[in-house]
């Protein structure tokens, strides 16, 4: 592999190439767009579920401070998950630049659980923990 293949020339035409290098005036807005898209997709499910959740012990909704803490936890967990994908340990991680985050997949079922006065936020947290353990075991048993 020659030097030009390792470091392709900087050009706007490289936007859609895997290892393409684009000029800084294009890279900054594209990078900001990527970061904002990651933030929205990470924070929206947490905001939707937490604004509807009922705390079983009090029967009231979560406070703004509690929702803020959960948003921070979601971003922190997404960062740890991303680092685990980039720098794998044992069988966990892919060595690929994958940005991990919160999923919209379970939004409907979490809303049903957390708005039920008999289960509430506490029941939702228990369901997430059990589901995460189950998913982790299934993931470790898969080949690829």
User: What average pLDDT does range 43-63 have in this prediction?
Assistant: 91
Phi and psi for 99 in degrees, rounded to 5?
A: -90, 115
64-114 tens-digit pLDDT: 999 999 999 999 999 998 898 888 888 788 888 788 888 888 899 999 999
103-126 tens-digit pLDDT: 888 899 999 999 999 999 999 999
What distance in Å separates the CA atoms of residue 42 and residue 91, rounded to the nearest whole number?
25
- Among residues 53, 28, 24, the alpha carbon closest in space to that of 123 is found at 53
Residues contacting residue 97 through CB under 8 Å, at least 6 positions apart: 85, 86
Inter-residue contact 100 to 34 (CB < 8 Å): no
Phi and psi for 123 in degrees, rounded to 5?
A: -65, -35
């Amino acid at each position: 592999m020659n030097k030009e293949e390792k470091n392709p020339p900087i050009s706007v035409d490289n936007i859609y190439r895997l290892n393409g290098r684009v000029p800084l005036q294009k890279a900054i807005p594209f990078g900001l767009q990527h970061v904002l898209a990651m933030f929205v997709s990470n924070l929206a499910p947490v905001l939707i579920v937490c604004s509807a959740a009922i705390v079983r012990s009090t029967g009231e909704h979560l406070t703004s401070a509690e929702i803020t803490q959960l948003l921070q936890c979601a971003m922190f967990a997404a960062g740890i998950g991303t680092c685990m994908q980039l720098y794998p340990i044992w069988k966990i991680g892919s060595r690929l630049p994958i940005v991990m985050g919160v999923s919209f997949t379970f939004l409907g079922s979490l809303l049903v659980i957390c708005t039920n006065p008999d289960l509430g936020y506490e029941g939702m947290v228990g369901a997430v923990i059990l589901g995460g353990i189950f998913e982790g075991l299934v993931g470790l048993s898969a080949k690829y």
